[in-house]
Amino acid sequence: MNHKKYIIISGLNLRDNNRGTAALGYGAISFLQQRENLKEGTILLNIRCYKNFLKSCNRKCKEEILSVNSITWHRKTIGIFIIEWWLLRKLGILLPWSQTAKLLKSVEYVAAINGGDGFSDIYGTDTFHSRLLETWIALKMNIPVIQLPQTLGPFQLQRNYDEARYILSHSKTVYVRDDKFTPELKKMGIKNELTKDLSAYMQPEPWNIDIKPNSVGINVSGLAYSNGFRTLAGQFDAYPELIDRLICHFRDKGHTIYLIPHSYNYEIPEPNNDDMVACKAAYDKLKDKSNVIFVDKDLISPQVKYVISKMSFFIGTRMHANFASIYSGVPLFGLAYSYKFEGAFNANGLDGKNQTAMIIGIKEKDINGIIEKVEKTYQKYSFGNL
């Protein structure tokens, strides 16, 4: 049970474009409560780094109210001036009269989400480092760090691996959601505990939508559909055709198909990474749109999970769209672009080898084999005669 006034949940953003990342925030609060590390009345602190000291808005505290599972939480966001951060990061010096220094003295711990799979350089070194601000502040200030359940690794660069090893070895507790990095943790001599993904602790929120019986949900990833996302650009040439074929395959079986975005900005789409754009493109590509429903609505994470929970079968590309299916008890198949898929499926009692297919480097010649593999999973769960 925490005793100080504040805790920091690094990466907490309930309105993140990626509904999976947002789900981690909802789940993190519930997880920490269940572990008796968080009590009602504790203030959630958030720290951001800013460059312009002259802008008064950068120096002001921002306060907001969050509601999770009918409990109200107060959240306070403060800024740390980039020079102040540099002094702390490089020299271990924090100006004692600064607002940041005063508040950090009242922080019980930092719990790091890291995007669920962002403790890795698979998305690039900059993305890896972008998640570590509050973790490094905690380490420099001798504040305990909890690594919340997540996929750790892989690391392409040795310097990133070394940095990760340092952070993990100085963390108070390390939780993982799969065993893919276990051999490396053993080499590092780091104890860890295997648990469910944080999104398992987020409850679905019903809303006004009519779900047809025996429906099949397909999450279309903007990352894969655009084929232009950062270091993964050019790896998904045949993904749009695969999605088109999957839609037709299951519609021909008599199902209503729901195209379900899971990472998107409804007002300003994120370039090369927006599921709403991808779902619309997949829908528009169809010559026959009968019995295909595009979920074109700005939903929060618990509402997206509700839609997925009502499917009879689900095919997901985003890992957390798959988690929503797994933790709702919906049979599923994962279209994977990382080893994390197989490990996460296995960790939750599923057959990761046979219930996922790697789509990195997918070509048109691979489509038939992937659809056959999806069909086998579909048949396994006795949906062949629906």
* CATH, residue 65: 3.40.50
Closest CA to 145 of 107, 179, 191: 107
Q: In this structure, are 246 and 167 located in the same domain?
A: no
Instruction: Look at the alpha carbons of 24, 25, 31, 32 in this order and tell me if their dihedral is positive or negative.
Output: positive
pLDDT in tens, the chain (386 residues): 457 999 999 999 999 999 998 999 999 999 999 999 999 999 999 999 989 887 888 888 899 999 998 899 999 999 888 998 898 888 888 887 787 888 999 999 999 999 888 899 988 999 999 999 999 999 999 999 999 999 899 999 999 999 999 999 999 999 998 888 999 999 999 999 999 999 999 999 999 999 999 999 999 999 999 999 988 999 999 999 999 999 999 999 999 999 999 999 999 999 999 999 999 999 999 999 999 999 999 999 999 999 999 999 999 999 999 999 999 999 999 999 987 799 889 989 999 999 999 999 999 999 999 999 999 999 999 654 44
Q: 167, 201, 235 — which closes off a domain?
A: 201
Q: What is the pLDDT of residue 69?
A: 83
Do both 243 and 287 map to the same domain? yes
At 75, the amino acid letter reads R
Asked whether residue 169 falls in the same domain as residue 256, the answer is no
Assess if residue 184 is contained within a domain: yes
pLDDT of residue 386: 44
Same domain? For 333 and 249 the reply is yes
Of the candidates 241, 287, 283, 233, the one whose C-alpha atom is nearest the C-alpha of residue 258 is: 283
Q: Which domain holds residue 283?
A: 216-380
Q: Is residue 209 part of a domain?
A: no
Nearest to 191 by CA among 179, 170, 210, 173: 173
Examine residue 228 and state whether it is found in any structural domain, yes or no: yes
**Cα–Cα distances in angstroms (integers) from residue 130 to residues 114, 133, 135, 201, in the given order:** 9, 7, 11, 25
Provide the 10 A C-beta neighbour count for residue 156. 14
Q: Is 211 within a domain?
A: no
Residue 206 lies in a domain: no
pLDDT given for residue 123 in this prediction: 85
Which CATH number fits the domain that encloses residue 328?
3.40.50.2000
Q: What is the pLDDT of residue 2?
A: 54
pTM of this prediction? 0.84
Query: SS3 sequence, the chain?
Result: CCCCCEEEEECCCCCCCEHHHHHHHHHHHHHHHHCCCCCCCCEEEEEEEECCCCCHHHHCCEEEEEEECCEEEEEEEEEEEHHHHHHHHHHCCCCCCCHHHHHHCCEEEEEECCCCCCECCCCCHHHHHHCCHHHHHHHHCCCCEEECCCCECCCCCHHHHHHHHHHHHCCCEEEECCCCCHHHHHHHCCCCEECCCHHHHCCCCCCCCCCCCCCEEECCCHHHHHCCCHHHCCCCCCHHHHHHHHHHHHHCCCCCEEECCCECCCCCCCCCCCHHHHHHHHHHHCCCCCCEEECCCCCCHHHHHHHHHCCCEEEECCHHHHHHHHCCCCCEEEEECCCHHHHHHHHCCCCCCCCEEECCCCCHHHHHHHHHHHHHHHHHCCCCCC
Is there a domain that residue 207 lies in? no
Are residues 160 and 119 part of one domain? yes
Considering the domain architecture, whether residues 362 and 220 belong to the same structural domain is answered as yes
Q: Which residue has the tokens 């860890």?
A: 192
Q: Is residue 210 part of a domain?
A: no
Boundary residue ending a domain (154, 178, 201):
201
Number of domains in the chain: 2
235 in the same domain as 192: no
297 inside domain: yes
One domain for residues 230 and 360: yes
192 with 245, same domain: the answer is no
Residues 174, 108 within the same domain: yes
Tokens found for residue 173: 């507790």
129 and 11, same structural domain?
A: yes
Peptide bond between residue 302 and the one before it cis (omega within 30 degrees of 0): no
How does 109-133 read in b/e, with b if 16+ C-beta sit within 10 Å? bbbbbbbbbbbbbbbbeeebeebbb
Q: Over the range 26-63, which residues count as b (16 or more CB within 10 Å of their CB) and which as e? A: bbbbbbbbeeebbeeebbbbbbeeeeeeeeeebeeeee
Domain boundary among 201, 230, 252: 201
146 shares a domain with 54: yes
